[in-house]
């Protein structure tokens, strides 16, 4: 039995290693080119404008794809959305794309994720983690993670299948929490589109600073949480 569990864990580890390797290869082969295209906001706008009203649908599809497949980071796409569609319009399209992409991730994790985690970590072990079983703490933690700029939001979404929270509640909480981060990025893009480079730079630097501070707080909170979990497991 113990040998079987070890083999399953090795199998899962190999799968994750292959997934990471494929992601790196995809970024090198396609990601840099895609990112360069998106970072050239004027060119990206001209390309979307060529599809007229259907351009917004294409953008939402790109955003959803970016949420599911992490070839490029979210922020450049959000800035480009602000440049093309303005602060509110770009923010709405980004949020819609994120929601659609997150729904795909939820479907995948709910279908395959639970089986995978059962292979790697026994159910009784997971039950010892207080955070996973305390819905109020879990909701508060999720809201903070998705509220702070630059945290690994979409990666956290992949873990949603293992959390004791209803999909509807998870989507509602995380979607609301995403809004400030998205709006600051689209505001930056909108100001670039208006030629207000100084304000765009100020918004970008402010968002970057908030992201750095947020990540520091997030990492500090993670360390504290891990210590508590270790104590809980040792008890």
Q: Is 148 or 128 the better-scoring residue by pLDDT?
A: 148
Checking if the pLDDT of 122 tops 80, the result is no
Q: DSSP secondary-structure letter at 53? A: T
Q: Across all residues in the chain, what is the average pLDDT?
A: 75
Per-residue pLDDT reduced to its tens digit, 18-27: 766 776 776 6
Rounded to the nearest 10 degrees, what angle do helices 41-49 and 167-193 cross at? Answer: 110
Give me 105's structure tokens: 């991730």
Amino acid 12: pLDDT: 59
Amino acid 215: pLDDT: 59
* Residue 72 pLDDT level (bands cut at 50, 70, 90): confident
Tell me how far apart the alpha carbons of residues 157 and 113 are, in angstroms, rounded to a whole number.
Answer: 11
Region for 69 from its dihedrals, namely left if φ exceeds 0, alpha if ψ lies in -120 to 50, beta otherwise: beta
Tell me how far apart the alpha carbons of residues 131 and 141 are, in angstroms, rounded to a whole number.
Answer: 9
Per-residue pLDDT reduced to its tens digit, 180-230: 888 888 888 888 777 766 666 666 676 666 656 665 665 676 677 667 666
Q: What are phi and psi of 196, to 5 degrees?
A: -90, 75
Give me 108's structure tokens: 């995948």
What is the distance, to the nearest Å, from the Cα of residue 168 to the centroid of all Cα atoms in its chain? 17
Amino acid 97: pLDDT: 95
Tell me how far apart the alpha carbons of residues 79 and 37 are, in angstroms, rounded to a whole number.
Answer: 13
Give me 83's structure tokens: 């440049």
Q: Is 203 or 99 the better-scoring residue by pLDDT?
A: 99
* Residue 129 pLDDT level (bands cut at 50, 70, 90): very low
Amino acid 89: pLDDT: 93
Q: What are phi and psi of 128, to 5 degrees?
A: -80, -15
């Amino acid at each position: 039995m113990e040998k079987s569990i070890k083999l399953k864990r090795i199998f899962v580890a190999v799968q994750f290693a292959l997934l990471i390797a494929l992601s790196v290869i995809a970024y090198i082969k396609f990601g840099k080119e895609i990112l360069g295209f998106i970072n050239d906001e004027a060119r990206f706008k001209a390309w979307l404008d060529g599809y007229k009203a259907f351009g917004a649908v294409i953008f939402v599809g790109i955003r959803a794809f970016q949420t599911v497949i992490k070839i490029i980071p979210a922020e450049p796409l959000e800035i480009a959305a602000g440049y093309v569609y303005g602060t509110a319009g770009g923010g709405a399209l980004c949020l819609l794309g994120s929601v659609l992409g997150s729904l795909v991730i939820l479907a995948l994790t709910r279908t395959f994720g639970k089986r995978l985690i059962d292979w790697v970590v026994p159910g009784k072990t997971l039950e010892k983690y207080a955070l996973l079983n305390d819905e109020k703490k879990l909701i508060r933690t999720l809201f903070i993670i998705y509220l702070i700029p630059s945290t690994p939001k979409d990666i956290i979404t992949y873990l949603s299948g293992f959390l004791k929270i209803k999909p509807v509640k998870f989507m509602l909480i995380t979607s609301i929490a995403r809004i400030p981060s998205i709006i600051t990025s689209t505001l930056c893009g909108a100001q670039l589109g208006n030629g207000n480079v100084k304000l765009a730079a100020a918004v970008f630097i402010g968002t970057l600073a908030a992201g750095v501070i947020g990540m520091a707080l997030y990492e500090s909170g993670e360390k504290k949480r891990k210590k508590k979990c270790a104590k809980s497991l040792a008890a």
